[in-house]
Structure 1
């Protein structure tokens, strides 16, 4: 651990040997220790051991740790403990880059804070604004949000403000800036109290975060329990090399080989996610898609089906790559290799979480060799080739070709009905405008006729 401008007065309590350390040893109160025990958190992880004592002393934190290392509890426990000591409405605000991650963080807060009566509200885009306004009017202790929707409420929800805020948390801080949330975050920072604690947490910190550190942190402690870009030791990482036209065939073979295991397949675009999902279903593999163009209730529904084991295969864009804690993922497949190396780290971090082992397999075609080399350079290790029986794989090609044709037709039908729905929506909107315009004009005409008849009546009286 390294610290920044640590004052002489700040003294971290002496810690027992790592093997024997408990949550109580690092200063967590008994009610929260009980909650941790119920959730199966037996001993604090490294990021929790290093950051919680500083946070309980009121210091700002910059935390860098691998995915699956317990970052959410590292900031949730100090906030809940301070809330118990000094109860207040709208006590903490946690910003996350994706809606799914926001819901997951809220679940952790509610589970850890259930014994002390902590109330949490989730404020994200894609959900009903009025129901969120009602939730905010009930004065929750913790608001978990995406920056854009929080800004909407600050501007448009009567009576809502963050004047009483004591804690601001930015989870996946680098991603918040990568997704062009910078201007929104700047606006939010202007309207919240300067006297507060700020926590920045991520698996990968980039140079972009330096500006955010200067703008929002006061005398922070920097805690690194991993290298800048790293993956966990229990993760086995492989690649498969083949011609581009064989990608679908290799995916089907791999999922058949891993039948019964849970897998996340990452693709680059929403359309590709949908196409792969249709292809796999046509071959009897129950896959469920997750991408940014789905309505929020469908996105949460897809996640819940995968978490519960109702579906073994989740096909997703990078919307599922950040922060999501799905403990029992056995395999991550990079169907499309990500363009940015740190996205690879976040994707493969969906498996081998919390001390478990896992596998990640990346598909490499003739167009992806440079991307693979870049990833290997960043993570500091060479990936091994995953063994595959080429003859057995090619035997599947005919069935896969047929499933591809069916998937392409189904995809075209879905796209056509979506376009038709949008067109109908526009036409309905135009009709409504025309009707209102006609009413206005007819009203104007009536008013004109009334004015003329009144004029004539006046002349007659004269």
Structure 2
């Protein structure tokens, strides 16, 4: 069995790695860490939950153990939650070595972030927009000393179209930096981007393109569109006690479904881009702790976020893009554990469903259930839905 020590991780860091529960490296870590320690630029393609964060974290921390320098590493991510999640990993590994971390993201008062920058952090974790704001307004912030530059969830970053911000950030970085680019999928934009800032990168691809993990059971229920809420509540009842992450297309529907399930007695919450940052953190934290068992989300939560022990992913709405399906269902069946995804398919979703099945090379399995239990809750759900619709209309009018 390959160990982290075999990959070149020093004894001090290896002990911490084992104590934190990382007994053996994953495939992406096995292939990435030696090249990273040898100062190579790296492009890593691996599916969600494969351990990409630790693959670049350990070389960065080890680099700082050997030579502690301020503004040593810059990590760019697409979402605020992901930035704080990565920071928590760095704190777990780096606190004992006195490694300072600054998180610089939008949606939060820039003042405290500016103070963190003035404290000369060793590692800067940021979203592109807020970093560019600080580059323009914070004299202390210079990126020319950055030794290691990381783009995490690169495909997501490029999908969100941060081209202008990237050009500004890249222009501030040293040509001698070491660069890591990690992505769940390979795109033409990534190929183009790497040519602009990477030096003969080592390319590592761990998984088959767009393949769901083998431990994931993928089901579907074919239903009339108007009965979606009824079947969703039925599934919540059927899998009560399980940790359920459900995806919807819009912020408005995330709020609507959350209100519906709460009125029906479920402990639920939602996360989407329209929520205040503090509320998003609160709901995500409660879900991780098991205080709420049902989390309704837009695709904000589909990528990168470390949400352990998700038993079931429900696609209330199928994703607009087939590739996004892999990212959604990647929230369950992680690290070799089993999991399930259930897709609510209506007459309007058949084409999208076929595209997803074609992409992943698998057919969804029809979920077996007793229709009697659906009929038993139909009246209650429809009456509650009317109350929710009325409440939301009055709220809008006010």
Which of 340, 343, 347 aligns to 1:366? It is: 347
Residue 145 to residue 413, structure 1, CA distance change in 2 (3 Å): farther
Which of 66, 69, 78 aligns to 1:85? It is: 66
Partner of 1:17: none
- SS of 2:270's partner is strand
Does the aligned pair in 2 maintain the 1:282–1:406 contact within 8 Å? no
- SS of 2:327's partner is helix
Deviation at 1:413, TM superposition (A): 4.1
Is 1:123–2:104 an aligned residue pair? yes
Which of 242, 248, 253 aligns to 1:272? It is: 253
Does the aligned pair in 2 maintain the 1:32–1:115 contact within 8 Å? no
Partner of 1:331: 312
Residue 212 to residue 395, structure 1, CA distance change in 2 (3 Å): same
Partner of 1:219: 200
CA distance in 2 between partners of 1:103 and 1:123 (Å): 9
Does the aligned pair in 1 maintain the 2:210–2:323 contact within 8 Å? yes
Deviation at 1:416, TM superposition (A): 4.5
Partner of 2:12: 31
Does the aligned pair in 2 maintain the 1:118–1:141 contact within 8 Å? yes
Is 1:71–2:52 an aligned residue pair? yes
Deviation at 1:114, TM superposition (A): 2.2
Partner of 1:234: 215
Is 1:59–2:40 an aligned residue pair? yes
- SS of 1:395's partner is helix
Is 1:145–2:135 an aligned residue pair? no
Does the aligned pair in 2 maintain the 1:334–1:363 contact within 8 Å? yes
Alignment of 1:345-360 (within 5 A): 345-360=326-341
Partner of 1:197: 178
Does the aligned pair in 2 maintain the 1:28–1:81 contact within 8 Å? yes
Is 1:286–2:267 an aligned residue pair? yes
Q: TM-score, normalised by structure 2?
A: 0.98
Residue 194 to residue 415, structure 1, CA distance change in 2 (3 Å): farther
Deviation at 1:99, TM superposition (A): 0.9
Partner of 1:442: none
Per mean C-alpha deviation after superposition, the further-off stretch among 401-410 and 271-280 is 401-410
Question: Cα deviations across residues 427-457 of structure 1 (Å, max 9, x unaligned)?
Answer: xxxxxxxxxxxxxxxxxxxxxxxxxxxxxxx
Which of 89, 92, 107 aligns to 1:108? It is: 89
Per mean C-alpha deviation after superposition, the further-off stretch among 335-344 and 202-211 is 202-211
CA distance in 1 between partners of 2:7 and 2:45 (Å): 19
Gaps of 5+ in 2: none
Question: Cα deviations across residues 225-275 of structure 1 (Å, max 9, x unaligned)?
Answer: 101211111111111111101100000000100000000010000000000
CA distance in 2 between partners of 1:67 and 1:83 (Å): 27
Aligned-CA RMSD value: 1.0
Indicate the structure (1 or 2) with the bigger Cα radius of gyration.
1
